[in-house]
Structure 1
């Protein structure tokens, strides 16, 4: 009891530094930590009646940006009380993207530090390990902002529903699944950039302009990225790619392993192979990144 009281006093003192002294406060994620683009996190999980998720017409929680991995360092910009819960507006170098309203996390997921701790260490797994992780995610759900295929079961305790949930609803509530770039992010242990806006220039380019699906497929190597702003496919071997794609109300929704030529042919009905993404749209590129890290 005395130890808990001491921790509470320290936490209050640290919060006071942010609120009253406008000094920076740092926090480190204790476990996988969902990061949102709204401070109204409780409204996302349950709404006013505590029974529904705040989803779009495709069943996605657009309020979720990504899931920070354990050890992620945050700078706390602001402390907010929402419905009696402490929520923190934060930034992190693990997610260097702008947001109109900022990024927010539940206080329960982090521990505080007076001084800036070290950034989360990033170690590149072996190629075979990354491929094994990618394949293990096959048939996972598509989750906007998701990068933990098995989800976060603790969400059921931290934001409990006011009714019994079906298995499918439990998976949605616990962010059980990955989006396209989240699939790669989880497989690499957070080594690669989180969003496709960064992946389109990550590593080095493979020259594909003017080539056919067959010619492009012949030039690909494992872990090459077939990517454009908004989507990425990851090469598994000379014949297969893996991707997580959102197809509303369709059984093909989620993580699937596909034939490379088939995937390229489908992509090239709408997009043109290019050696770089220009300011326009309608292009895709191939980025080779793993060889640059070995």
Structure 2
């Protein structure tokens, strides 16, 4: 066998070993994010970022990439369960304590965003900023666009380098390609250095509940403190003080009336109370829980 063939064969078997799932008895594999790393609920990174023509994003009618679950912050530790080839991308099926939400399809990260490790890496350092620092970070995000799964308002510039589009993109498509913006819980996640839970489903039980059942807007307002969370499954609003709130929400038209905005607390409470009932504890399932909201106090508890 020629040297070239031997080299090609060796490369093939190395690649084959890389894309096979770990077998029973094999050592567990790990990875650590070295960049802000998009985590998808599909392994098809090239299909989401590029598609057949190399320049199309897989978005829904509201312009959102629903395959994006969250953006893992640098230092996030993963357990690697399987490694796959998708086009020219090497993709790892992973789990992480930073995002414990169950998934029917699994979670996936592209190889170029992580460093593989043979031993379990330490958890990502979590340092909660002071209250004033969190408020300042929240306010600095005003005007950022809503991005489903987004929790880094500056986005991931490496996306257009690692998944280069075929041809020039419009400014709006380039922004979406780089995942510039935050969703409602992602706004809080970034402001707290990833200390708070990433999903509203986890925020429903985060911290301690503020008793609000049966109260009107004025009475609820008097009980609120800075950084309290007005939350229900699917959305969270953050209290800045007894006059203002901040939130990131998706508007009815892509790019219009969406994103991060500061709003009067009285206006927000009146709007929420028109469609939801205040509760001391969010019902787990069934009943009228879908029309409830709770207030959770987590800072300085």
SS at match of 1:281: helix
Q: Which residue of 1 aligns with 2:95?
A: 91
Q: How many angstroms does 1:12 deviate by?
A: 7.1
Return 92-101 or 274-283, whichever deviates more.
274-283
Given that 1:18 and 1:25 are in contact with CA atoms closer than 8 Å, whether structure 2 keeps it comes out as no
1:116 and 2:125 are equivalent in the alignment: no
**How far apart are the structure 2 equivalents of 1:168 and 1:261?**
34
Instruction: Map 1:259-274; keep pairs closer than 5 Å.
Output: 259-274=264-279
**How far apart are the structure 2 equivalents of 1:43 and 1:156?**
14
1:287 and 2:292 are equivalent in the alignment: no
Q: Which residue of 2 aligns with 1:221?
A: 225
> Post-superposition, which runs of at least 4 consecutive aligned residues in structure 1 deviate over 3 A?
11-22
**TM-score, L = length of structure 1:** 0.92
Q: How many angstroms does 1:248 deviate by?
A: 2.5
**TM-score, L = length of structure 2:** 0.90
Given that 1:18 and 1:24 are in contact with CA atoms closer than 8 Å, whether structure 2 keeps it comes out as no
Q: Which residue of 1 aligns with 2:5?
A: none
Q: Which residue of 2 aligns with 1:30?
A: 34
Q: How many angstroms does 1:135 deviate by?
A: 0.3
Q: How many angstroms does 1:219 deviate by?
A: 1.1
Q: Which residue of 2 aligns with 1:256?
A: 261
- Compared CA separation, residues 164 and 130, structure 1 to 2 (3 A): same
Q: How many angstroms does 1:23 deviate by?
A: 2.7
Structure 1 gaps, min length 5: 1-7
Given that 1:139 and 1:254 are in contact with CA atoms closer than 8 Å, whether structure 2 keeps it comes out as yes
Of 145, 148, 153, the residue aligned with 1:149 is 153
**How far apart are the structure 2 equivalents of 1:34 and 1:214?**
41
SS at match of 2:174: helix
CA deviation profile, 1:97-148 (whole Å, cap 9, x unmatched):
1111100010000111111011111111111110010000011000000000
Paired residue total: 283
SS at match of 2:275: coil
Instruction: Map 1:58-137; keep pairs closer than 5 Å.
Output: 58-137=62-141
- Compared CA separation, residues 108 and 214, structure 1 to 2 (3 A): same
SS at match of 2:136: helix
**How far apart are the structure 2 equivalents of 1:258 and 1:16?**
49
CA deviation profile, 1:33-82 (whole Å, cap 9, x unmatched):
00000000110011111121100000000000000000000000000011
SS at match of 2:300: helix
Q: Which residue of 2 aligns with 1:4?
A: none
Given that 2:277 and 2:292 are in contact with CA atoms closer than 8 Å, whether structure 1 keeps it comes out as yes
RMSD over aligned CA atoms reads 1.8
**How far apart are the structure 2 equivalents of 1:78 and 1:13?**
12
Structure 2 gaps, min length 5: 1-10
Q: Which residue of 2 aligns with 1:3?
A: none
